[in-house]
Structure formats: C-alpha cells, structure tokens
Chain A
Amino acid sequence: MKSIGIIDDRTDVLETTSNAIRSVLTDEFQDWSLIATQPFEKLDEYRSWIIENDLGVIVIDQKLNENKVKEKYFSPFLGNQIINNIWGNFKDLPIFGLTNYSVEAMNDVKAITYDIIERPKFTSNIETYVRMFVKSGENFYKLNRDKLERLSELAEIIALGNATDRDKTEAKGLQLDLQIPHFASDAISHEEYIRKLEKNLNEIKDFKSKIEDYIKKQNQ
C-alpha cells in the first residue's frame, strides 16, 4: 500500500493532522494510507521507518522540540535537520514542511523542502494539499518502480552470467539509489555458482554416508 508519513512531536496535533489527511484519503485515495510518528531519538531511525513502511511522501513539522516524546526526550533535531538526513539516503523522496510560523521566517528551510506550508493555509485547503502529497508520492513510486523493473532485468542478466561490466555498474548505481543491499559487485558467474552448489551437495552427501556408516556400526 502507498503511504504518507507524518512527523510531529505534539501528540494531539499529530492526531488531528493525521485525521484530517486520512479523511481526504478515505474519500479520494483508498489505496493510500497514513503512518504517523513522533520524532525519533536517533537520525538512523528515520531510514528504517521509511523503508519498513515503504513511504512515498513525508509531511514534517518544523519545530520539533516542544513536547517530550513518550515522556522521555525532546527531539534533538529540528525538521530541517531531519530532512537533510533523509535526503542523504532518499534523495528523491518528496518532503513537505508544516509550520505555525510565517513562510518568510522559514526561508532557509524552504530552500530544502518541496514546499513549506503555513498551517492556516493547510487547514483552509486540506484537500488541495493532500492531493499534492499524493501526486508527489505517485511520481516517487513511479520513478522507483521503473528503477526496480530495470534492476530486476539486470539481476536476471547477472544471474545468468551474461552481465557486462556496464550492466554491473548500472545495477550498483540503481541499488545505491534504491537503498538495496549490493549484489552486483559480489556477483559470481553462473557456472561458478553451480560448481559451488555441487561441491556443497557432495559434501552433504559425504556427510550423510558417514552418518549412515556410523549408525550401521552402532547397530552391529
């Protein structure tokens, strides 16, 4: 399922914004869901969160250190710091900022988001903004799907042992882009794979016959 991720430290605001977005999703985009979270304590956790939930777009509040998360910690990072980190891993992922400040006051943040949205404007035009989130997310998924399909073709070529160096380089680039563990650089030829497999099977057969001999001896 396609998903929008939303991050805010204030639980009541997070819930209301989520309900507002969900209401539009239910009416217009049934194949989309919404995943809400308070800020994480460590930046690495955002990467896992995005991969686990296969997020296609993120909406994030800018001033994230107003409320303690789970009564334990204030977010050590502001929205723009988190965006910078996410884009280090997912450079095409659309991210929208939400703020109670005026956009003029957030000019430096504006430069690093798709758009920064003042909350009053968001409230007045929820449907429009949710459509914009979904559209950006669709583009992101499409881009990723195309890349995945190409990667799948390349994986097949590599598995058959027909890959050229150029194929392997392309596969590596795509894996980097898609955050998938590499295999092209470690890939071995088809023949070698079969040879190793046979060797392993023979070892197992040897081991099996040794066990059978041992059991026979014991029974005698």
Chain B
Amino acid sequence: MSKKFSIDARVILQLGRDSIKDHTTALIELIKNSYDADAKIVEVEIYSRETKDIIRVADNGFGMTDTELEDNWLRIGFSEKKKNKNSTLGRRKTGEKGIGRIAADRLGSNLNMITKSKNEKVIGIEVKWDEFDVDKKVVTDIELIELENPTIKIPQKEDELSETGTEIIIKNLRQEWTKENINDLYRELSFFTPLSHDDSEFQIRLINDIDPSIPKEVKTAIYEVAEIEVTLHYDGKEELIYEYKNKIDARRNKIRIINRDQFMQSEYAGSLNTGPVDIKLLFFPRKAALLEGTSFKLSDLRTFLNINAGVKIYRDNIAVKPYGFVNSEFGFDWMGLGARKAEDPAGISRPSYKITPNQLVGFVNVSRDENPKINDSASREGLVENEAFEDLRALILSTIRLLETYRYEIIKETSKKPEKKPAHDSIHYITEKLNSVVNDLESVKQYLSKHKDYKGSSISNTVIRVNEAIEETERTIEELLEEKRVLSALATLGIASAVFGHETESSINEFKLAAKTSRSYLSKKNPDIEIALIELDKAIQHSKIISGWGTFALSRVEKEKRVKRERRIKPIINKVLDQIKPSLDGIGVELIKEIENVVAKTYPMDIESIILNLLTNAYSAVPNSKRNRVIKVTLKNEYINDKKGFSLTVSDSGPGVAKEFINSIWDPLFTTKIGKSDQRSGTGLGLTIVRSIVDEMEGEITLNKDEELKGAKFNIWLPK
C-alpha cells in the first residue's frame, strides 16, 4: 500500500501566523488581493469598540466563480499570480505566495467570504479558524460551511455600476485596534499606490470607530500644493525627459529632453545598469504661503510631511520598504540628503543650495520585468545594493540636483538683487573716491598756505597724514589683489593635483615596480639583460613624469609670474600643455593645439590659472562620453569692438554642459559631477576662479557646444 502525507490543519494557521507580521499587515494582504482582482474601490471597515466587533473588506473586483473558489481560493499555496503576473487592467499583481487569505486568521476567528463574478450567482463560505487549531485534526476533515442564499454589498463608484466583487467579513476579532494601529494602517494604505499614477483607478475607503479623526477616503490631495514638481522619465537608453511644474508661477513650467551623459556627468558613460525609470519629486517648503487658496493649514502640511517625507521606490506600483519610510531608521534618508546638507548648509541664495530630506516627497517607479538587475535582498526587506541600485540612486540624486538648480534660478531671478560688481569695478570706484578726497584736501592745503592762517600748519599736517593713509590703503588693496592672485593659483594647483595627481601617483608606483623588476632580472643566476634594460627604460620614463609634476607644482606661484608686463602668451600656454601632457596620455586623450603668437600685457599666473582650470575640466569630462577622447586648445589674436585682444579656447569631446547648468557652473561650489558611491565629485571652484580672473581683466567668457568635438567649448577673450 502506498504511503501519503497528511497535513495537520494547524499547519495552515501556523503558516499564516509565521508569514504575517501583525494585524495591520494581515489586513493589507486582503486589500492587496482586491487590488490584484482589478478592483477600483475597496471599502475597509473596522469596528472594535462599542457594540460591533467586526472587520469588513469589500471590493468591486472581478469576483470568483464556484470553480475558482474551489480550485484557487481554497487551495492553500496556490497563486494564480504565479501564472499571470499582470491583471486584466495591466496591474502588476502583488502577491505570489498564495497565503494572503489565511492572513484573515490573524484578524479574527470567523470569516465569511461572499463573492460574485460576472454572469454567476452570489456564493459564500464561512471559515471558523479555531476548528483548525485542534490536535491531530487533518485539514481535509474540516468541512467549510457554504452560506445559503448569501447577499453581497459591493462598493460602488459614483460614475459606474459594479456588479461583481468580493466581500470578506471577519468576526470575533483577535486583537483590539488602537488609534495607533488605525493611524499606521492609514499611513500604509496611503503609500499603497504611487501618486504618479492616476489614483482614481484605485480608491480605498477606511471607516472605523476607533479614531474618528481619520478621514474616510485614503486621500493625498495635499500633494497638489507642492511648490515644485519635477517628473523625469528615463527610457533606459540615451535620453531623459523631464518636466517642471511650478505652483507659484505656471509660466515657469517647462518640459525638456536631456542627454543622459550630460545629466549624470558620471565616469564611464554608457554603463547605467538600470532599465526605464520614472521619478517624481515634490518639493514642499514648510511655509504657510504655499497653502494659500487651499483648505489646508500649515499644521496639516507639517503632519503630512512628518508622515510622508522621503523618496520611496515602487516596484510595479508597490512601495519597497524601507526606502523613504519615515519610521525607518536607515531607510528614511537612504539618499543621504541630510548628510549632504550638513556638509554644505548653503541657503537658497547660494548656487550650491541643497534641499533637506524632510522637504521632499519622491516616487521612483521601476518595473521588475524591465529592471531585472534591481533585485530583492535575501532578507526580503529592501533591495540588493548592487551597481544597478547605485545607478538608480545616482539617477535620483541627479534629478534632485535638477530641482535644486531650478529653484535657485527662480529665487535668483525673482529676488532681483543688484548684480554683484566685479572686484575690479569696486576697486576703481574706491580709488576714484579716494583721489577726489586727495584733490579736495590738496586744494584746502594750498588755500591755507596762501592765506597764512595760523591754524594752517596743523591742517596741512592733517592733509599730509590723510594722503599717507590713502597711499597706504592703495598699497593694501594692491597687496590684497596679489594675495588673491596667489590664492587663486594655489587653489588651481589644488584642484589640478586632485585630478592629475592620480597619474603621478601611478607613475611613482610604476617607477618602483619597473626598477624592482629590472633588479630581479639582473640578480638572477643567468641574468636576463634584455628584460632588465626594458624595465629600466620604463623606470626612467616614469621618473621623468614624476619630476615633471614636481617642477610643475613648484613653478605655479613663482614671484616673476605675479608681475604684470608685456608677455608672450604662446610659451606660457605651451609650457602648461607640455606639463599636463603625460596625464592626458595616461587616459588616452589626443591633444590638438592651434596656437598663434600673441603678446599681451598680463600676469602669467592668471593665464596659467585660466588654462589649467579649463584643462582640468576638459580632462574630467572626456571619459564621460563614448566619443574619441580629444581636447583642443586654440590661441589667437582677436579684436572685439575695435578693442585689441586675444582669445583662448579649450574644447573637449565630453558630453558638454547641459543648458540647465550653464548659468550655475560659474558659481562657487556648484559642480555637475555627481559621484557614484566612493567616487570623487568636483570641487566647484575651478570655473569660479576662471570667471573671477576674466572679470578682473575686463575680458569676456562664453560657453558653447563645440560643433566638431561635440563637447563643451570655453572661449575666453582678454584685452591686450
């Protein structure tokens, strides 16, 4: 006789109890089933006080036939969702384990399930879970009660009549529901589907007798008051489309397409591991002005943000915990926005302005099928933090930066502060004023000496002292300017060291290895002279690069370079290019030079700071595009408005600068370089230094796209 397993009825209860964390989660499991059944409305009623002791979950989904009830619902572990991942309405089904229905045991000991499918009569069963909780009772021995002539109350939407649906009534509740439980449930339900999708497609009504302050509709209308809404769609390939919606001024709404490489500016372009991604960011400054014309109070907004702030990830419309959940210690600020703000707490008037995590509500929607590299972690909470996840994070961070730049630009335009005068204008102004004072004093002095006033001598002395003070002030200004020049050069050297220094470090390592290898071949029993010589040659080459860098660093702030006089610009540029060449070779960059003879009265240190910062920028940009790596430097004599001058241009084959950032790149601490984890990002100082020098020299600076190399083209014009 063949042997068979039999299953103890208690196992079913155990399975449900082990899989479901608490009664809130159990209820959500039942609501998920309604979502999967294409319901458009779900009514959830919880009465655990006063006279009633009941939970009711009713939906207007497609219901079940008698056969479906028997073959699917009553077969524990069976999930139709395993076969068909999407519902008829195209929803990605949420549960696949087939145990959601036994979650009901967690809620109460009696369950009535009534259902009606299209063209079928209403059917219903009653389950008494406590009958399962008996020793040595086999599951097949338990007879479920079929309800006689059951009636069903299907939730209705105003505009369409529903004839199908399922109603679950749970009695003899196992646990009393507290206000806290109801609030938790409301919060979880409000996250259930992302608002980036039409939420009228799935409405949840929550009625309870525990906390009357909870609104009946699980609603999120407050989202509409966001000051700025940014939506971004990435197609998983080359381009992104983004849209700004501005609540304060709709004229500032705009929609644009942006190239991914320009948007991300990360190293190794073309290696994003994510598929299509939809991002929606809503920005809420905590101020009452935002709520004008709405029925919300500032306290509503605060409460809403206290519950909802954070950037949440949705997979096929279901939120993935713990990302962006306020009650999660590590998950809430998983983007590290708080730490970022703490590092640079600049306000909105500064270009490096950053938002705080509690001002942002974000939705990131990815589908499982199109993002196979974004996987669940083994612990079932969260995602595996692999490269695809890091790319997703960088993509969201770039979108946040887009929002910040947009807001900064708006505030800059609307605050209409007078443009800050360049330093040299202020100096001219002060010098003129001082000269006028000197002239006035000189006149007084002459008058007094003519009239031989007895008080004249003391006034003359005062005039002399004032004159001396003015001369001293002028000297101080000159010294400060020189100090600024040296500091700019040192800052430039610092930036260049951070970028090019790695090549030198590599050369030191290669020098040591080549020298050691050469020695090892020479000291063998049968020395291999040929290999030893090859390695020695390489060691010599590397030593030249190392000493070249030393010379380069030491020569940056030579005193001679701080003197303004007629200079030949060509050798200054050529020298910097020669010194940087090994670093360019190190990453396979072709350098094209078109350099004319130019003579101009200038400070060599300023010219070096300009070219070095522009080269540093280009060097960082070229690996970010798939094109051949090329940097082109041109120098030529050029007149602007009959003014003699010269122009210096640096172009590159990188991804170029996105229009969105062209106004901000000159501001201190603004950088387009967003690092993935553990990668360096830019300092945001190089172009500020260039701008400051060009302003001081009364020159002009333009940034365009280089038509030939397709990357950025910085053109500097300076007067002779």
Chain B residues numbered 497-517 whose CB sits less than 8 Å from any CB in chain A: 502, 505-506, 508-510, 512-514, 516-517
State A123–B271 Cα separation when bound (angstroms).
Answer: 31
The answer to whether A66 touches B512, judged by C-beta atoms less than 8 angstroms apart, is: no
By beta carbon, the residue of chain B nearest A109 is B678
- A20 touches which one: B270, B520, B541 (CB < 8 A)? B520
Return chain A residues, CB-CB under 8 Å to B516.
20, 123, 126
The answer to whether A120 touches B387, judged by C-beta atoms less than 8 angstroms apart, is: no
The answer to whether A16 touches B588, judged by C-beta atoms less than 8 angstroms apart, is: no
The answer to whether B586 touches A16, judged by C-beta atoms less than 8 angstroms apart, is: no
State A107–B390 Cα separation when bound (angstroms).
Answer: 14
Chain A residues numbered 130-182 whose CB sits less than 8 Å from any CB in chain B: none
State A120–B512 Cα separation when bound (angstroms).
Answer: 8
Tell me if A34 counts as interface (CB < 8 A to partner B).
no
Tell me if B538 counts as interface (CB < 8 A to partner A).
yes
State A106–B676 Cα separation when bound (angstroms).
Answer: 12
The answer to whether A119 touches B677, judged by C-beta atoms less than 8 angstroms apart, is: no
How many CB-defined contacts (below 8 Å) exist between A and B?
Answer: 71
Return chain B residues, CB-CB under 8 Å to A74.
588, 629
- Distance between B283 CB and nearest chain A CB, rounded to angstroms: 31
- A68 touches which one: B513, B531, B588 (CB < 8 A)? B588
State A20–B516 Cα separation when bound (angstroms).
Answer: 8
With contacts A16-B538, A65-B623 taken as known, whether A123 is within 8 angstroms of B678 at the C-beta atoms is: no
Interface string of A72-90 (1 = CB under 8 A from B): 0010111011000000000
By beta carbon, the residue of chain A nearest B506 is A100
- Distance between A25 CB and nearest chain B CB, rounded to angstroms: 12
Return chain B residues, CB-CB under 8 Å to A23.
517, 520-521, 524
- A16 touches which one: B270, B502, B514 (CB < 8 A)? B514
Tell me if A211 counts as interface (CB < 8 A to partner B).
no
Return chain A residues, CB-CB under 8 Å to B677.
108
The answer to whether B502 touches A100, judged by C-beta atoms less than 8 angstroms apart, is: yes
Return chain A residues, CB-CB under 8 Å to B512.
120, 123
By beta carbon, the residue of chain B nearest A100 is B506
Tell me if B268 counts as interface (CB < 8 A to partner A).
yes
Chain B residues numbered 576-607 whose CB sits less than 8 Å from any CB in chain A: 586-588
- Distance between B626 CB and nearest chain A CB, rounded to angstroms: 8
Classify the secondary structure of A's interface with B: helix
Tell me if A13 counts as interface (CB < 8 A to partner B).
yes
The answer to whether B521 touches A16, judged by C-beta atoms less than 8 angstroms apart, is: no
The answer to whether B513 touches A20, judged by C-beta atoms less than 8 angstroms apart, is: yes
- A66 touches which one: B508, B510, B514, B588 (CB < 8 A)? B588
State A80–B268 Cα separation when bound (angstroms).
Answer: 13
Return chain B residues, CB-CB under 8 Å to A101.
502
- Distance between A75 CB and nearest chain B CB, rounded to angstroms: 10
Tell me if B278 counts as interface (CB < 8 A to partner A).
no
Return chain A residues, CB-CB under 8 Å to B538.
12, 15-16
State A68–B630 Cα separation when bound (angstroms).
Answer: 13
Return chain A residues, CB-CB under 8 Å to B513.
16-17, 20, 119, 122-123
Return chain A residues, CB-CB under 8 Å to B629.
74
Return chain A residues, CB-CB under 8 Å to B534.
15, 19
- B268 touches which one: A13, A16, A65, A108 (CB < 8 A)? A65
Count A-side interface residues using an 8 Å CB cutoff: 32
Return chain A residues, CB-CB under 8 Å to B261.
none
With contacts A12-B538, A66-B588 taken as known, whether A76 is within 8 angstroms of B270 at the C-beta atoms is: yes
Tell me if A194 counts as interface (CB < 8 A to partner B).
no
Tell me if B167 counts as interface (CB < 8 A to partner A).
no
The answer to whether B510 touches A19, judged by C-beta atoms less than 8 angstroms apart, is: no
By beta carbon, the residue of chain A nearest B270 is A76
Tell me if B535 counts as interface (CB < 8 A to partner A).
yes
Q: Counting chain B CB atoms within 10 Å of each CB, which of A17, A66, A80, A122 scores highest?
A: A66
Q: Counting chain A CB atoms within 10 Å of each CB, which of B506, B513, B535, B629 scores highest?
A: B513
- Distance between B476 CB and nearest chain A CB, rounded to angstroms: 44
Tell me if A1 counts as interface (CB < 8 A to partner B).
no
By beta carbon, the residue of chain B nearest A66 is B587
The answer to whether B271 touches A19, judged by C-beta atoms less than 8 angstroms apart, is: no
State A23–B520 Cα separation when bound (angstroms).
Answer: 7
State A26–B523 Cα separation when bound (angstroms).
Answer: 13
By beta carbon, the residue of chain B nearest A104 is B678
The answer to whether B505 touches A100, judged by C-beta atoms less than 8 angstroms apart, is: yes
Return chain B residues, CB-CB under 8 Å to A15.
534, 538
- Distance between A206 CB and nearest chain B CB, rounded to angstroms: 51
- A78 touches which one: B268, B505, B678 (CB < 8 A)? B268
The answer to whether B535 touches A16, judged by C-beta atoms less than 8 angstroms apart, is: yes
- Distance between B519 CB and nearest chain A CB, rounded to angstroms: 10
Return chain B residues, CB-CB under 8 Å to A78.
268, 271
State A107–B586 Cα separation when bound (angstroms).
Answer: 24
The answer to whether B509 touches A123, judged by C-beta atoms less than 8 angstroms apart, is: yes
State A188–B629 Cα separation when bound (angstroms).
Answer: 57
Return chain A residues, CB-CB under 8 Å to B505.
100
Return chain A residues, CB-CB under 8 Å to B270.
76
State A12–B21 Cα separation when bound (angstroms).
Answer: 59
By beta carbon, the residue of chain B nearest A68 is B588
With contacts A12-B538, A100-B505, A120-B509 taken as known, whether A108 is within 8 angstroms of B678 at the C-beta atoms is: yes
Chain B residues numbered 616-635 whose CB sits less than 8 Å from any CB in chain A: 623, 629
Chain A residues numbered 1-33 whose CB sits less than 8 Å from any CB in chain B: 12-13, 15-17, 19-20, 23-24, 26-27
Return chain B residues, CB-CB under 8 Å to A120.
508-509, 512
State A206–B94 Cα separation when bound (angstroms).
Answer: 65
State A74–B509 Cα separation when bound (angstroms).
Answer: 23
Return chain A residues, CB-CB under 8 Å to B517.
16, 19-20, 23
- Distance between A81 CB and nearest chain B CB, rounded to angstroms: 7
- Distance between B45 CB and nearest chain A CB, rounded to angstroms: 49
The answer to whether B678 touches A105, judged by C-beta atoms less than 8 angstroms apart, is: yes
- Distance between A102 CB and nearest chain B CB, rounded to angstroms: 10
Return chain B residues, CB-CB under 8 Å to A113.
none
Tell me if A38 counts as interface (CB < 8 A to partner B).
no
Given A23-B517, A78-B268, A106-B678: 4 more A-B contacts, CB < 8 Å: A13-B510, A16-B535, A19-B531, A123-B509
Residues of B at the A interface (CB closer than 8 Å) are 268, 270-271, 387, 390, 502, 505-506, 508-510, 512-514, 516-517, 520-521, 524, 531, 534-535, 538, 541, 586-588, 623, 629, 677-678
Nearest 8 Cβ contacts at the A-B interface:
A119-B509, A20-B517, A23-B520, A123-B513, A100-B506, A123-B512, A66-B587, A68-B588
Can you report 26 A-B residue pairs in the complex whose CB atoms are below 8 A from each other?
A13-B510, A15-B534, A15-B538, A16-B514, A16-B538, A19-B517, A19-B521, A19-B531, A19-B534, A19-B535, A20-B516, A23-B520, A65-B623, A67-B587, A67-B588, A68-B588, A78-B268, A78-B271, A81-B271, A81-B387, A100-B502, A100-B506, A108-B390, A119-B506, A122-B513, A126-B516
Residues of A at the B interface (CB closer than 8 Å) are 12-13, 15-17, 19-20, 23-24, 26-27, 65-68, 74, 76-78, 80-81, 100-101, 105-108, 119-120, 122-123, 126
